[in-house]
Structure 1
């Protein structure tokens, strides 16, 4: 019985299992190249490096499950980053000068901006009856323009305490960024995945018409999904603000492409209805740590996208061969059944 369950799990999660195997190899290479890997600084450095893309991948995974793609996530991250860096001190001064109170209020405002932006995307898709790729491509440009309006030039006034809080360690041992990832899993993904709206995503991505005929509230589920995607982008904006202590509307970012790649690398299907955030985490960590390895090896940054593209193609190949052998096995079983009759 246990062997059958194991085989069934591997069959359903082949791409995700492969992603974690690749991640294990990458971590071994990382450990061999990073001198302080086995000290408290090693995990802190790793999680600070991967946390932003991991959270971005959560939002992208939710959208991909509906058979959509969010091309606005990168620009929304930059926009919320610029908002956070610009309003931090004005909000702090307005609330009495407390950095803690000002920081908390800034985070709430930025998260609200992200949710509203995601909800706007959802409304355009649901009520405008437009393709997600077209909508988010357009709103991505809008968010980029808003970022430049809020922060015409790179800069901002972000206290060092704010940066140390999000990039430091709890009790001097546990990385804060690791805690944030755990909170994203246990406070966002797992509750949402177990909710009706979360379960509906798989049905919608698998067959939207059939889901509608079975009484699933398509519009509400999509609106919630896009709102969560906006929330995740805003969290990334806060993290980026803590990491850079500034806002930069002109900053080059690969969050959009890499979040899609992370989801696919973790086993999500761009056709919808298949995927999990646990797989996306592995994909995001692989893509982020590969960049660190290239730096360790002294390889030019010009080749980073090349390497990431090759990894993505390999990930897609796993899905292709998995489906190929599945169909081959089903055909063989059908032939055997006919011969038996």
Structure 2
């Protein structure tokens, strides 16, 4: 097999996900009266970003060959904590964000310790810890409430132009270089920072490469001198960081905190679906956070399409809110099945990691 063919084989799932996104979001934009406008795109990005962060959190344990069932619960816990902390002066807000992210890091480390030192399967350890996180969230917010700083919340969910115009970053006309990027929603900038400053350095580090090696074959990784325990602890700790970032953004997006158990479960399940749709193998060892973000974009694009189906068209029945979960599930099952088909088409499973 040539290098080009191996590259195509390993990226086939991601390329399929990109194709699905272009298809579904193209349909959505074509039917939407203002499809493609900056306001609509900013709204869509806001609805996508929280799940994208949760999917990034899910990706790291999946690379090890496990699942983290606590990512949605941890997101909910940090969301409730942020509804208490994200208020006051600028320094208060900065300290609140740091404390929220530190909470996620600590929770992720605890998950890793349960797996590494407690010798508990990840799916069981995180199922138990997720219940604990939800319990703490309910203690913090028995009922929905809280008041996140309105200015910070607004700035985090709009375009760069809106933020610059409102706060008067430049007294007169905006400079030319800024005009070229002014339509970019702030969550896109945050996503780029998460990928560029957190994910890529981790992926290219010795510990990150160790996570891929463990997912490919833990026995072979051990024999090759990979620090198994360190890589697993780092993976779950990073997962906690991403889940905490999702909780912070959810608080900014909604302006409050809500210990919603069903929401936590939905985010967890959708994060697993996004990881698979993006082309990351549940066997571990291949894929990445960027692919999972694309998987989230596919899921959201599917749900967006149901909003704009013309009532007088032959597909009007798709707009029925009672039937939408059924259709989303069928489409998702088809996408996941196609993406996973390569697992059964290889004679040697090691080819999956080539």
With over 3 angstroms needed to count, the CA separation of the structure-2 counterparts of 1:302 and 1:122, relative to structure 1, is farther
Instruction: Provide the residue aligned with 1:24 in structure 2.
Output: 22
Secondary structure, counterpart of 1:271 in structure 2: coil
Q: Quote the Cα distance in structure 2 between the aligned partners of 1:306 and 1:199.
A: 39
- 1:14 deviates by 1.1
Q: 2:100 aligns with which of 87, 99, 110?
A: 110
1:143 is the counterpart of 2:127: no
Instruction: Provide the residue aligned with 2:331 in structure 1.
Output: 311
Do 2:25 and 2:305's aligned partners in 1 also have CA atoms closer than 8 Å? no
With over 3 angstroms needed to count, the CA separation of the structure-2 counterparts of 1:105 and 1:262, relative to structure 1, is same
Q: Quote the Cα distance in structure 1 between the aligned partners of 2:224 and 2:327.
A: 43
Instruction: Provide the residue aligned with 1:55 in structure 2.
Output: 53
Q: TM-score, normalised by structure 1?
A: 0.88
Instruction: Provide the residue aligned with 2:123 in structure 1.
Output: 133
Q: Quote the Cα distance in structure 1 between the aligned partners of 2:159 and 2:339.
A: 38
1:269 is the counterpart of 2:281: yes
Q: Quote the Cα distance in structure 1 between the aligned partners of 2:44 and 2:260.
A: 26
Instruction: Provide the residue aligned with 1:336 in structure 2.
Output: none
Secondary structure, counterpart of 1:274 in structure 2: coil
* Paired positions, count: 318
Deviates most, 296-305 or 137-146:
296-305
Instruction: Provide the residue aligned with 1:213 in structure 2.
Output: 223
Deviates most, 230-239 or 267-276:
267-276
With over 3 angstroms needed to count, the CA separation of the structure-2 counterparts of 1:303 and 1:141, relative to structure 1, is farther
Instruction: Provide the residue aligned with 2:74 in structure 1.
Output: 76
Which structure: greater helix fraction?
A: 1
- 1:124 deviates by 0.4
With over 3 angstroms needed to count, the CA separation of the structure-2 counterparts of 1:284 and 1:5, relative to structure 1, is same
Instruction: Provide the residue aligned with 1:321 in structure 2.
Output: 341
Instruction: Provide the residue aligned with 1:175 in structure 2.
Output: 185
Secondary structure, counterpart of 2:319 in structure 1: coil
Q: 2:300 aligns with which of 288, 306, 309?
A: 288
Instruction: Provide the residue aligned with 2:178 in structure 1.
Output: none
Deviation sequence 1:254-277 (CA, Å, 0-9, x none):
110011000011111111112122
Secondary structure, counterpart of 1:13 in structure 2: helix
1:239 is the counterpart of 2:259: no
Deviation sequence 1:36-86 (CA, Å, 0-9, x none):
233221321121111111111111111100011010111111110000002
Q: 2:262 aligns with which of 252, 255, 258?
A: 252
Instruction: Say what the alpha-carbon RMSD is for the aligned residues.
Output: 1.9
- 1:150 deviates by 0.8
Secondary structure, counterpart of 2:86 in structure 1: helix
Deviates most, 10-19 or 224-233:
10-19
Do 2:277 and 2:339's aligned partners in 1 also have CA atoms closer than 8 Å? no
Secondary structure, counterpart of 2:262 in structure 1: coil
Q: 1:223 aligns with which of 215, 233, 236?
A: 233
Deviation sequence 1:180-234 (CA, Å, 0-9, x none):
1111111111111100111111110111111111110011101111011100111
Please list every run of 5 or more consecutive structure 2 residues that lacks an aligned counterpart in the other structure: 163-182, 310-317
Do 1:85 and 1:155's aligned partners in 2 also have CA atoms closer than 8 Å? yes
Do 1:15 and 1:315's aligned partners in 2 also have CA atoms closer than 8 Å? no
Please list every run of 5 or more consecutive structure 1 residues that lacks an aligned counterpart in the other structure: 93-97, 331-341
Q: 1:197 aligns with which of 195, 207, 222?
A: 207
- 1:327 deviates by 2.9
